[in-house]
Amino acid sequence: MLTTRQALTGPWAGNLAGWAGTLVPGSLLVVMQELPTGYPNGWFIALSAALQFLLAGVWVAFAVTVSRRLTGEVPPAALGIVWLGVGVTRGLTGGAVALSAGLDPEWVHRIAFWCVLSVLWTPLLTYALAQAEEYRRLLNQRAQLAIELSKLEARERENAQARTQRVGAAIADALGPALEELRAGLRTASLDAATVDDIRGRLDELSVRARDFTAAREIPSGRPLGRASLVAAMTAFQLDRPVFAGLLTAAATAPVLLLLQYRVGGLPAVAEMAAGIGISTLAFMLVAAGVSRLRAPRLARFVLLRVGTLVGGGLGAASVAYLPWNWLPEDAFVALALVPLLFSAAADILTTGVALEATNARLDALIDRDHELVRSRAESLKLAEEEEAAQLLELVRGELSGRLASCAMALAFLAAGTFSDDDRERILGGIVDQLDTAAARVRELRL
């Protein structure tokens, strides 16, 4: 199971693919921050967003590379430096672009805003991406186990006649040479008591191998059902714990939105945004509670919850726009239009991280069960094949035993008595005929 430390300090710490995933949300936040700044045109905002993304990415790549070369990983202390460095880099870059446009760089506000945002959101994104990678790895591992189980099931479904022929060939390989050797020995050996005892012992040995085998055991069929759905886990988290999910989303978005509003309109604007966040959170909780009572397919409820987060964010933004106690500039209203996207993104990222952890834990349990199933099925199949071979050997022995026993008795009779050459030749010929028949029966097992 992937731990939190492994997720944050492992390959996804400063991963370029993960950093690329911050392009859109990070750029939206730049737009929200810079719209009220008063730039002469929108190109300055686009330039600020591009430079912030690129320079912060360079910082992350540099810091993470140095840390891994020195320590072999990105330890928690280095992570803190990386996250704060992202905030400082973005703040300085945004301030420099504002200064180039003849505006107040607002260094303190920009650096504080991006440091808070980076420390709050970067670990969440890293954790979610690491859990997603672990999810893909576990799915692949379970798929490989499914292939192994399919192969075992195919062997279990093998045609009985083909299996009998295969096992019969193995018996023929084991018994045939011994019978041929005995037949050849009878033609050349002197039939004294010692030789007879030796040959009788070897005849008995051919039928002893299957003595301790019992009936073939029953092999369980079918694979136990079990799924680990990410959509199901995300839906279950928000439906089963709507208050907790809503409060987590509010806690993730509040620092960002409150800092933005403080810059626009001071404490009255902060109070408005706090009320808006509360309305968004309450709306989301109500949507989740309503969806939980619907008898709808899982995917439909998942979609309704995603829509619910957008609706909740929209209601919060609308309340901020229309609350009467604070005046906002026109640009601030444009920035408010992005609030539903931020609220929805926060809800989805948090839910994804929680759901992935639960899903991966479920997958781990299913993989352990599948490993045990593979081991059990392989062992059962091995025992079944051994016991089937033993049963076939027992069947053959039932036919051979009479012949082998009569051969042994005839040998003892021949060794103990006095016979003419013709009688000895006749008795010996009968013994050889019996062994010829037994050898032929064994050879038939190959057909």
Nearest to 126 by CA among 272, 275, 14: 14
Rounded to the nearest 5 percent, the helix, strand and coil shares of the chain are 85, 0, 15
The SS3 of residue 44 is helix
pLDDT tens-digit profile of 223-253? 554 555 666 777 777 777 888 888 888 888 8
Tokens of 132: 């997603």
Question: 278 and 354, same structural domain?
Answer: yes
Please say which residue of 157, 173, 208 terminates a domain. Answer: 157
According to the model, what pLDDT value does residue 322 have? 78
Nearest to 242 by CA among 206, 284, 202: 284
Residues making up the chain, counted from first to last: 447
Please say which residue of 128, 157, 186 terminates a domain. Answer: 157
Share of the chain above pLDDT 90, in %: 12
Tokens of 37: 């700044």
Question: 243 and 139, same structural domain?
Answer: no
The SS3 of residue 338 is coil
What backbone phi and psi angles, to 5 degrees, belong to 382? -60, -45
Could you list the residue range(s) of the whole structural domain that residue 149 is in?
1-157
Please say which residue of 103, 130, 157 terminates a domain. Answer: 157
Question: 19 and 146, same structural domain?
Answer: yes
pLDDT tens-digit profile of 376-434? 888 877 777 676 666 656 655 555 566 666 776 776 676 666 667 677 677 777 777 77
Query: Taking a C-beta distance cutoff of 8 angstroms, is the pair 388, 210 a contact?
Result: no
Question: 183 and 151, same structural domain?
Answer: no
Query: Taking a C-beta distance cutoff of 8 angstroms, is the pair 76, 10 a contact?
Result: no
Q: How far is CA 14 from CA 42, 60, 181, 256, in A?
A: 30, 6, 74, 22
Any idea which residue has 């051994």 for tokens?
A: 386
The number of folded domains in the chain is: 2
Question: 43 and 179, same structural domain?
Answer: no
Q: Is the dihedral of CA 344, 279, 339, 308 positive or negative?
A: positive
What backbone phi and psi angles, to 5 degrees, belong to 101? -90, 5
According to the model, what pLDDT value does residue 62 have? 92
pLDDT tens, residue order, the chain (447 aa): 677 788 788 777 777 777 787 788 788 888 888 887 888 888 999 999 999 999 999 999 899 889 888 888 888 888 899 999 999 999 999 999 999 998 989 999 899 999 998 888 888 888 888 888 888 888 888 888 888 888 887 776 665 556 566 656 655 665 566 666 666 666 555 555 566 566 656 655 654 543 333 333 444 445 554 555 666 777 777 777 888 888 888 888 888 888 888 887 788 888 888 988 999 999 988 988 888 888 878 778 888 888 888 888 888 888 887 776 655 665 566 667 778 888 888 888 888 888 888 888 888 888 888 888 888 888 877 777 676 666 656 655 555 566 666 776 776 676 666 667 677 677 777 777 777 776 676 666 555
Question: 166 and 47, same structural domain?
Answer: no
Chain-centre distance for alpha carbon 350: 20
Question: 136 and 260, same structural domain?
Answer: no
